[in-house]
Amino acid sequence: MTGWLGPLLVERAIRLCWLAPLAAVGLFILVSNAPVDPIEAYVGARTALIGPEQREAIAAAWGLDQPATTRFVLWVRNVASGDFGDSILYNAPVVTVIMDRFPASLLLVSLAWLLSFVIGTGLGIVAAMTPGSRVDRAIRAYAVVLTSSPGFWVAIILISIFAVGLKMLPSCCALPPGTTTAEATFWAQGRHLILPVVALSVTGIAPLVLHTRARMIGFLESPPAQHLTAHGASQRAIAFGAGLRHALGPALTVHLAGAGELFGGSILAETVFAWPGLGQATVRAATGGDAPLLMGIALATLLFVFVGNMLADIAARLVDPRLRWDKSR
C-alpha cells in the first residue's frame, strides 16, 4: 500500500539537499547587491542626528564592515551549527522573529487555503453540471473577475463595505483593538479572521473553479457517466458522487502546489489588515536590507512551499490510486 511513499520521500530529501544551498547562494547574491543601504534605511528620518562615526559604529555592530564573502561564509558556518543569526532590524534572533510571526501567518494562509478550496471546487462542480447555462456563465464570469482583481484591492473593497460602510466586521488586527490576547474571546478572534481570510482566499479560487469545471465536464461526458445517466442517476448525484473523487484529486494537486502563491498574497493582505504575521516582517526585512532575516524567511518559505508540493504529490496518489503505480519517473 505505501510502497510508493518511501521512494518519494527519499527523492524529495535529495532534491532539498541541493535546492536549499543553491537558493541560499542565489539569495545572498541578490540581497548583498540590492540597492538598499541598510544603515541609511535604519537611520531613516533621524538622518540629521546620526553622524558618520555613529554610522560606522552601527555598521560594526551589524558586522557590515566585513566583505560580503566573509559574511556569507560566517553565515553558512553559523547556520550549519543551527544559529541563523540575529535580525538587524528587530534586534532579536532570526528564529525567534520568525517563530513569533509564523503561527499567525499559518492560521491565515491555511484558513484561506481551505476556504478557497471549498468555494473553488464547489463552484467548479456546480458550473460543470449545466455547462453553458446562466449559472455556468455567471460562475465563469466571477472567476475571471477574481483572477484580474489584485488581492490587496479586494481587501480594501472589503474594508470599505463591511468595516467602514456596514460597520459589521473589524478592519484591522488579529484581535479587537484594546484587548490583550488573554482577554480576547474565541469569537472575537474569529471575527477578526473573516475579512483577511476572505481577501486572501480570492487568489486561489479562480484557477480551481476553471480547473474543476473542465475536469468535471470531461468526466460527465465520459462513457462511465453516460452509463450512470442511462441507469437513471441524476446529474447532481453523479457530479457529487463518482465525479467528486475524479475531480478532487487534480484540484488538490493544483491547490497545494499554489500554496506558495497564497503565501506571497498574504504579504499584501497582512499589510492592509495590520495582521501580525510573517508577511509584514518580510516587507520590512527587504526594504530595510536586513540580510539575516530575509535569508531566514526565504529559507522558511522555501521549506513551506516544498512541503506543500510534496503533500500535493502524496495527496494526489492517495486520491487517485493509478498514480501510485506510475514508475515512469
Partner 1 sequence: MPICVWVLTIIIGLTTAVSARDIVVAIGGEPDTGFDPVQGWGDYGSPLFQSSLLKLDADLNIVGDLATEWTLSEDKKTWVIRLREDARFSNGTPVTAEDVAFTYNTARDAGGLVDMTVLREARATGPLSVEIELTEPRITFIRRLTTLGIVPQSSYAKDYGRAPVGSGPFQMVEWREGETLIVEPNPYWFGGEVGFDRISFIFGDEDAAVAMARSGEAQLVAVPPSQADDVPDGMYLIEVESVDNRGLMFPMVPATGETTQEGAPIGNDVTSDRAIRVAVNQGLDREALVALALNGHGKPAFGPADDLPWDNPDAHIPGNDIAAAIETLERAGWLDNNGSGLRKKDGIPAQFKIVYPAADSVRQALALGASKQLKALGIDAQPSGRSWDEIPRLMHSNVVVFGWGAHDPSEMFNLYSSNKAGVATFNPGFYANAAVDAAFAKAEAADGFEASLPHWKAAQWDGTTGFGSKGDAAWAWMVNLEHDYFVADCLDIGRVQVHPHGHGFPITSSITDWKWTCE
Q: Is there binding between residue 1 and partner 1 (CB under 8 A)?
A: no
- Check residue 311 and report its DSSP letter: H
Residues in the chain: 329
User: Please, what is the Cα angle at 285 between 281 and 288, to 5 degrees?
Assistant: 135
Residue 130 Cβ vs partner 1, minimum distance, rounded to whole Å: 25
Q: Is there binding between residue 119 and partner 1 (CB under 8 A)?
A: no
Q: Is there binding between residue 42 and partner 1 (CB under 8 A)?
A: yes
Q: Please identify, using beta-carbon distances, which residue of 143 and 195 lies nearer to partner 1.
A: 195
Task: Choose, by CB under 8 A, the member of 146, 272, 305, 316 that binds partner 1.
Answer: 272
Residue 99 Cβ vs partner 1, minimum distance, rounded to whole Å: 12
Residue 270 Cβ vs partner 1, minimum distance, rounded to whole Å: 8
10 Å CB burial of residue 49 (0-12, 13-18, 19+) is exposed
DSSP SS3 for 251: helix
Q: Please identify, using beta-carbon distances, which residue of 143 and 158 lies nearer to partner 1.
A: 158
Instruction: Please give the distance of CA 263 from its chain centroid, rounded to a whole number.
Output: 2
Distance, CA of 91 to CA of 133 (rounded, Å): 59
Q: Is there binding between residue 69 and partner 1 (CB under 8 A)?
A: no
How many Cβ atoms sit within 10 Å of the Cβ of residue 94?
A: 25
Q: Is there binding between residue 52 and partner 1 (CB under 8 A)?
A: yes
10 Å CB burial of residue 38 (0-12, 13-18, 19+) is buried
Q: Please identify, using beta-carbon distances, which residue of 105 and 212 lies nearer to partner 1.
A: 105
Task: Choose, by CB under 8 A, the member of 10, 17, 118, 168 that binds partner 1.
Answer: 168
All three cell numbers of 271: 499589510
Residue 151 Cβ vs partner 1, minimum distance, rounded to whole Å: 14
Q: Is there binding between residue 176 and partner 1 (CB under 8 A)?
A: yes
Residue 110 Cβ vs partner 1, minimum distance, rounded to whole Å: 19
Q: Is there binding between residue 129 and partner 1 (CB under 8 A)?
A: no
Extended strands (E) in the chain:
86-87, 92-93
Q: How many helices, marked H, and strands, marked E, lie in the chain?
A: 15, 2
Instruction: Please give the distance of CA 167 from its chain centroid, rounded to a whole number.
Output: 29
- Phi and psi, residue 82, nearest 5°: 90, 5
Task: Choose, by CB under 8 A, the member of 139, 154, 281, 300 that binds partner 1.
Answer: 281
Residue 205 Cβ vs partner 1, minimum distance, rounded to whole Å: 21
Distance, CA of 271 to CA of 151 (rounded, Å): 11
Q: Please identify, using beta-carbon distances, which residue of 1 and 45 lies nearer to partner 1.
A: 45
CA dihedral defined by 34, 40, 42, 46, rounded to 10 degrees?
A: -160
Q: Is there binding between residue 286 and partner 1 (CB under 8 A)?
A: no
Q: Is there binding between residue 131 and partner 1 (CB under 8 A)?
A: no
Q: Is there binding between residue 101 and partner 1 (CB under 8 A)?
A: yes
Task: Choose, by CB under 8 A, the member of 124, 288, 296, 308 that binds partner 1.
Answer: 288
Tell me, by CB under 8 A, how many residues bind partner 1.
62
User: Please, what is the Cα angle at 195 between 281 and 90, to 5 degrees?
Assistant: 10
Residue numbers of the site for partner 1 (CB under 8 A)?
35, 40, 42-43, 45-55, 57-58, 60-62, 89-92, 100-101, 156, 159-160, 163-164, 167-181, 185, 187-188, 191, 270-277, 280-281, 284, 288
